[in-house]
């Protein structure tokens, strides 16, 4: 069944969420990009107590987790809390993910209108900020004007503030149509999809500066079975003066100090794989 994306705001917008959709990879591969250890997906249909564990009282004390699934036309997706994407360990791997794939990100904090970012091969293709976009020639933008009451100005396309309709369901509908995005509505709203912990089990600290540029801030990178390492804060940040066009290549695999993440002490459910 083609459920599209138009339902997202009605079903999920009240509590806030971060949605990452990636073309051409599996849900487990996406989970690993987000920080999970391979082989640790938890299926609520086969793990007794999993839904209560992740969504019941006390779940706020758990490490960050994602719910992942397969969307239409070869897309994988992950749903998380809005805060998860701001972790330091997510920044470097996120740059890698978006440099290699087509990625659609939706961030709805409930405090401001949702942000939408489409990245193709490391380049931003379309964005929505404050119910508007500067990508006036993009097909999604043209359809928002033609079908959803958005207004065209010389500096961008914006939702009509006088309208009683927020316009967001139209944005999601047209975005889904254009990129071939469709999420399984019932499985998402009933939380009947695999869950996985994405927060690092070991918190890494650098004991050295970036060996390439001397920068003092280093970001954790390397979930799964890779040797933990840290990369420069400018890793794959493009077109920064004084750096290579694709960003600083600096990384360290030694001189890294780790300490246990105390959130993993809260895992008490038999059969739950404990961490990344």
Answer yes or no: do 173 and 220 share one domain: no
Q: What is the mean pLDDT of residues 111-118?
A: 95
Same domain, 132 and 165: yes
Please tell me whether residues 193 and 247 are part of one structural domain.
no
- pLDDT band for 74, please (50, 70, 90 cuts): very high
Residue 265 lies in a domain: no
Residue at 102 is within a domain: yes
What is d(CA 103, CA 59) in angstroms, rounded to the nearest whole number? 29
Domain containing residue 165: 8-197
The answer to the question of residue 275 being in a domain is: no
Q: 224 near 273, Cβ under 8 Å?
A: no
On whether both 106 and 51 belong to a single domain, the answer is yes
DSSP 87: S
The angle, 0 to 180 degrees and rounded to 10, between the axes of the packed helices 139-147 and 168-179 is 140
Whether 179 and 51 have beta carbons less than 8 Å apart is answered as no
Q: Which two tokens stand for residue 216?
A: 């003092």
User: Is pLDDT above 60 for 153?
Assistant: yes
Domain stop point among 182, 197, 212: 197
Do 251 and 193 belong together in one domain? no
CB 128 within 8 A of CB 135: no
Select the more confidently predicted residue: 196 or 164: 196
Show the tokens assigned to 179.
């990129």
Whether residue 212 is found in the same domain as residue 184: no
Q: Which of 195-199, 208-212, 255-259 has the lowest average pLDDT?
A: 255-259
- Domain contains 1: no
Domain end position, chosen among 197, 228, 248: 197
Query: Does residue 29 sit in the same domain as residue 158?
Result: yes
Q: Which of 149, 164, 197 is the last residue of a domain?
A: 197
Check whether residue 170 and residue 223 sit in a common domain.
Answer: no
**Claim to verify: residue 99 and residue 63 sit in the same structural domain:** yes
Q: Which residues lie across from 248 on neighbouring strands? A: 235
Whether residue 85 lies inside any domain: the answer is yes
What are the start-end ranges of the H helices in 39-167? 50-55, 88-100, 139-147
Together in a domain, 170 and 224: no
pTM for the model stands at 0.91
d(CA 18, CA 69): 14
230 in a structural domain: yes
In a domain, 3, yes or no: no
CA distances from 141 to 118, 151, 167, 181 (A): 13, 10, 12, 17
Same domain? 152 vs 190: yes
Token pair recorded at residue 218? 């280093």
Average pLDDT, the chain: 90
151 and 22 co-located in one domain:
yes
The residue among 270 and 180 whose pLDDT is bigger is: 180
* Pick from 77-81, 113-117, 198-202: least confident: 198-202
User: Does 266 fall in a domain?
Assistant: no
The count of structural domains within the chain is 2
Q: Are 66 and 84 in contact (CB under 8 A)?
A: yes
């Amino acid at each position: 069944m083609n459920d599209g994306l138009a339902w997202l705001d009605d079903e999920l917008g009240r509590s806030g969420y971060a949605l990452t959709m990636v073309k051409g990879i599996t849900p487990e591969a996406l989970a690993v990009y987000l920080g999970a250890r391979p082989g640790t997906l938890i299926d609520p249909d086969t793990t007794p107590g999993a839904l209560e564990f992740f969504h019941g009282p006390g779940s706020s004390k758990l490490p960050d987790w994602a719910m992942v699934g397969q969307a239409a036309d070869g897309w994988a997706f992950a749903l998380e809390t809005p805060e998860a994407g701001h972790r330091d360990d997510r920044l470097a791997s996120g740059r890698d993910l978006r440099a290699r794939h087509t990625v659609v990100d939706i961030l709805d904090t409930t405090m401001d209108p949702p942000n939408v970012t489409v990245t193709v091969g490391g380049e931003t293709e379309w964005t929505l900020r404050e119910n508007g976009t500067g990508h006036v020639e993009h097909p999604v933008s043209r359809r928002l004007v033609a079908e959803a009451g958005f207004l065209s100005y010389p500096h961008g396309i914006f939702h009509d503030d006088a309208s009683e309709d927020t316009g967001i369901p139209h944005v999601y509908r047209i975005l889904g149509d254009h990129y071939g995005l469709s999420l399984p509505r019932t499985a998402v709203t009933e939380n009947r999809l695999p869950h996985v912990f994405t927060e690092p089990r070991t918190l890494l600290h650098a004991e050295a500066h970036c060996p390439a540029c001397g920068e003092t801030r280093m970001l954790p990178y390397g979930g799964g079975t890779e040797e933990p390492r840290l990369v420069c804060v400018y890793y794959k940040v493009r077109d920064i003066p004084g750096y290579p066009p694709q960003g600083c290549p600096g990384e360290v695999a030694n001189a890294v100090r780790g300490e246990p993440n105390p959130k993993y002490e809260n895992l008490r459910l038999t059969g739950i794989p404990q961490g990344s």
